[in-house]
């Protein structure tokens, strides 16, 4: 579905609503960036989180932003204001962080970069919410309590929407997506390393198609 607003900008909720999964992408080879993005888009996944876990990540973001306009490129593993600034300069349209600090939150607001902050405890949810963030990444999802934790949070944090990431697979994603406070999940299963290394882009597109077929709950 097309949830882009009329200004051409995206909100964190719109990023979450676009598909059942946001791929968590680790790129070690710049040459893989554009064909991977095209394979993901062909499979119905256009919100792409390229993590800042490799020295090549920012260049990969820049290439995708320039060469695959159908994709909405985001930067993951934002841990500092400098990360946020570099991501926006490279062309990122949204950001994802493994945790939350007010410095990172303020930097993203100043830059106009929609952010999905990472949380793993109730206190972190409250801190992010105090700063105006109501769409959050639950990370690491399985290690921090999985679907049971999100069910427990649905009471006190009834007005917060989550994207669980960390240990999520095609097999357990439906359990997360069935929860009313989960809009989408984050996962790396649709970007397997061996498929990227071998250039098997058709396999990645098929994994996307299988994932898009999962039912997701409206926010």
Among residues 135, 137, 161, 216, the one annotated as catalytic is 137
| Catalytic option among 49, 62, 135, 216 | 49
The residue among 57, 28, 23 whose CA lies nearest residue 43 is 23
In this structure, the number of other CB atoms found within 10 A of the CB of residue 193 comes to 10
Tell me which residue has tokens 């080879």: 29
Q: Is 151 one of the annotated active-site residues of the chain?
A: no
Give the Cα separation of 5 and 2 in Å (integer): 9
**Whole-Å CA distances, 113 to 11, 22, 87, 116, 199:** 9, 17, 9, 10, 32
Token pair 């490129």 in the structure block, residue = 73
* 66 has catalytic annotation: no
- Contact assessment for residue 135 and residue 13, using Cβ atoms and an 8 Å cutoff: yes
Please give the DSSP secondary-structure letter assigned to residue 180. T
Q: Which residues are catalytic?
A: 49, 137
């Amino acid at each position: 579905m097309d949830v882009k607003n009329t200004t051409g900008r995206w909100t964190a909720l719109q990023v979450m609503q676009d598909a059942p999964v946001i791929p968590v992408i680790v790129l070690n080879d710049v040459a893989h960036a554009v064909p991977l993005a095209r394979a993901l888009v062909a499979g119905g996944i256009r919100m792409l989180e390229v993590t800042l876990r490799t020295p090549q990540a920012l260049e990969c973001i820049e290439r995708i932003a320039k060469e695959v306009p159908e994709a909405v490129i985001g930067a993951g593993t934002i841990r500092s204001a400098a990360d946020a600034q570099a991501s926006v300069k490279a062309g990122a349209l949204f950001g994802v962080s493994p945790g939350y600090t007010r410095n990172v939150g303020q930097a993203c607001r100043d830059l106009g970069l929609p952010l999905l902050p990472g949380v793993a405890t109730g206190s972190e949810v409250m801190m992010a919410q105090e700063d105006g963030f109501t769409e959050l990444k639950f990370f690491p999802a399985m290690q921090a309590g999985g679907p049971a934790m999100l069910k427990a949070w649905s009471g006190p944090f009834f007005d917060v929407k989550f994207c669980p990431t960390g240990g999520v697979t095609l097999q357990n994603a439906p359990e997360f997506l069935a929860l009313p406070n989960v809009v989408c999940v984050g996962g790396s299963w649709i970007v397997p390393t061996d498929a990227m290394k071998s250039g098997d882009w058709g396999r990645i597109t098929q994994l996307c198609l299988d994932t898009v077929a999962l039912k997701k709950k409206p926010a």
